[in-house]
Amino acid sequence: MDVIAALLKHSFQDDLDDSSYSEIDNTRSSGNSSGAGTTRLFVAMGKISGMNPKKLVDLIKQKAGLDNLRASDVQVLDKFSFVTVPFEQAELIINSFHSDDRRGKAIITKAKPKK
């Protein structure tokens, strides 16, 4: 068990360090809007881009200038991610990332509802 723990720590480095994660509310949501006043965002960056939940939340905070970002249900997949934020913050985040369009596609948009 010590060998496996050492291999995981070596392979994932900071990803497994509890101190590298900020407080995130893991309430699950479904669809574009996940409840009173929140919006689900699609982020065109994932693990391949070097993202983990903390890095993603920190990037959004820094780029949007939101020290009080209230992110929940952060999911980082291989090529993209999802995060739920209050509606007012969602609009500010989308506008902040609008200038970072890649090949005509915005990095952060409102997520499409689940079918």
Domain annotation covers residue 4: no
Give dist(CA 63, CA 29) in Å, integer: 24
> Is 18 within the bounds of a domain?
no
What's the number of domains the chain is made of? 1
Kind and range of the H or E run holding 5 = helix 2-12
Predicted TM-score (pTM) of this structure: 0.65
DSSP SS3 for 106: coil
User: Per residue in 91-108, pLDDT tens?
Assistant: 999 988 875 555 567 789
Tens digit of pLDDT for each residue in 70-82?
899 999 999 999 9
Within a domain: residue 42? yes
Could you tell me how far CA 106 lies from the centroid of its own chain? Answer: 15
Domain of residue 54, residue span: 23-110
CATH number at residue 50: 3.30.70.330
Q: Which two tokens stand for residue 57?
A: 């939340």
Convert the pLDDT of each residue in 57-66 to its tens digit.
999 999 999 8
Q: What is the CA radius of gyration of the chain?
A: 15
Is 69 inside a domain boundary?
Answer: yes
